[in-house]
A and B are shown apart, each in its own frame.
Chain A
Amino acid sequence: MSEKKKNYGMIIDTRVCVGCSACVYACKAENGVPEGYCRDWVVQETNGEFPKLAMENRSERCQHCDNAPCVTYCPTGASHYDENGTVQINRSICTGCKACMAACPYDARYVHPEGFVDKCSLCKHRIEKGLKTACVSLCPTESLHLVDFDTMTAEDKAMLSGKDVYRQKEHAGTEPSLYWISARNKPGA
């Protein structure tokens, strides 16, 4: 694992997400994701008993885990941690064996039509230039936040201090870098 210079991840405020899929198409356009595939997606989850229902729209993607099973199981080192604290795929040594797909508890990967396995790169090429990811920069409700957890702003810290902040499948021991602010208890839910 390379020495971390940054520790990027995301905080996703599902309370303001309207499920517009702008993040999906921003990503597809930015990263040339082929038609019929996507690196991120929107999940709409409804909970409760009618008429007291709460809906959560979630923009999901690779969780860029600190203890990523895909990296652990990759037989060639194609899946690897990079210095920005993200998980990347080196296409030039990916055999398309799909061990990483079997290993990922988040189902975050797919086989690109060209054969290699693909997933969200957290717009590595953009964040290296100090830019935000395509999905974050296009989100119309500011639900998505790119965060360097080593240099968090006061606003980032405030978002993470809420009681409804969670990480997905944390008990899998994967140390995911995506944090979610739940919409289940938002006013009116």
Chain B
Amino acid sequence: MIEGVNEIISTKLNPNVLPHLHIWEWHIPLYLFLGGIAGGLLLITSVMIVMRRHFGIGPKDEGDGCPCGAVRIGSILSPALLGVGMLFLFLDLAHKLYVWAFYTTIQPTSPMSAGSWILIAFFPLAVLQAMVVNRKYLDKLNIDLLNKLIKWTDDHLLKVALLNAHIGVGIGIYTGMLLSFFSARPLWSSSILGMLFLISGISSAAALMLLLAPKDEKHIYSRIDANAIWVELVIVGLFILGGVTGTANSHGAMMHLINGDELMAGMPYMYWFWGVFVVTGLLIPLLVEFLENAGFHLHLPPIAPILVLVGGLVLRFLIVFAGQTYHTFM
């Protein structure tokens, strides 16, 4: 017998029970954004290391095997940002004390299970690589174990960097695939979402490195970023076309995103998507970086990379929220 119950709503219209709007809130978009940047940073820094070590090109060597500041800081930021992202992932868990359950099993059909293991696999090599490129600071500590680890990694740096480049791509794609496997959510159920989040992660990582890079090397990251934005624009176009020309489910979900009047932080999705993500986060930075690379020095503050980062963040929030506020597969 239930005593003292006084419920106004006993049907599914109860917001506690209808999960449309509150499965994943702000933690998950932030995690996807940081995970994307971490993957992009690992990819770019690894490629830079391979270029310098194997081909003798790319960013200049600052001595002691340490490449330029952007690669050094980027190498540290990659695992650090992923760690922060995983903290948000943890905060989103409703049953936090049971987080260990991810690591007592491998569920082959669950992308999240694969992801939880990939996230762990990310750290060892990424941290070793970050240690090698920052060895001139670590050598001063003169810790035997550290020195041995650095020496081992340095001896195998080409292999480690190549492997890391692949892990970076894997993490970037995973952040999108995590959503795209949910066929019950029509907006997310697009196989191109993995590529979209990967290229957006690479673009955001390049933008971050552009901010960190010394003046004479900014052009390297500016070009990477501009090219990534080009590709991202194409993939955004394909993502939209795939939705608009798809089934009633996909079409409705895509229109909910690109033409939707549902509000996010007080502004309709449509304005966020076209105004903030596409125009401010992709087209304007592309134009600025194109002009800079073509020799027109605009003498602007680093507006382009900041806009790219804002666009990448908004993309994650939009996709995660719009995917949930549209009804499930009908």
Contact = CB atoms under 8 A, between A and B. Distances in A.
Interface residues of B, number: 44
Given A94-B95, A98-B24, A103-B182, A77 B107 contact: yes
B182 A102 contact: yes
Interface in B83-97: 92-97
A114 B98 CA distance: 12
A179 interface: no
B98 A93 contact: yes
Contact of A107 (B1, B12, B107, B111): B12
Contacts of A111: 19, 94
B14 interface: yes
A149 interface: no
A25 B102 contact: no
Contact of A96 (B10, B94, B109): B94
B329 A95 contact: no
A100 B14 CA distance: 19
Contacts of A36: 7, 14, 16
A147 interface: no
Interface in B1-58: 1-2, 5, 7, 10-12, 14, 16-20, 23-24
Given A102-B182, A105-B184, A43 B11 contact: yes
B107 A74 contact: yes
B142 interface: no
Contact of B107 (A25, A76, A110): A76
Contacts of B329: 105, 169, 172
Nearest to B20: A107
A37 interface: yes
B113 interface: yes
Contacts of A35: 2, 5, 7
A77 B182 CA distance: 17
B88 to A, nearest CB: 13
B107 A94 contact: no
B18 A107 contact: yes
Contacts of B12: 38, 41, 43, 60, 107
A24 interface: yes
Given A76-B102, A95-B95, A107-B328, A42 B182 contact: no
A95 B98 contact: yes
A26 B218 CA distance: 67
Interface string B80-122: 0000000000001111111101101101011111011000000
A29 B17 contact: no
Given A25-B10, A37-B16, A73 B95 contact: no
Contact of B111 (A42, A73, A109, A110): A73
A28 to B, nearest CB: 6
A92 interface: yes
Interface in A1-57: 21, 24-25, 28-29, 35-38, 41-43
A133 to B, nearest CB: 17
A96 B90 CA distance: 10
A101 B23 contact: yes
B10 to A, nearest CB: 5
Interface string A154-175: 0000000000000001001000
Nearest to B188: A102
A97 B112 contact: yes
A99 interface: yes
B11 to A, nearest CB: 5
B199 to A, nearest CB: 23
Nearest to B111: A73
B5 A72 contact: no
A69 interface: yes
B191 interface: no
Interface of B: 1-2, 5, 7, 10-12, 14, 16-20, 23-24, 92-99, 101-102, 104-105, 107, 109-113, 115-116, 181-185, 324, 328-330
8 contacts: A25-B2, A69-B184, A72-B109, A75-B112, A94-B101, A95-B93, A96-B94, A105-B184
Interface of A: 21, 24-25, 28-29, 35-38, 41-43, 60, 69, 72-78, 92-99, 101-107, 109-111, 114-117, 169, 172
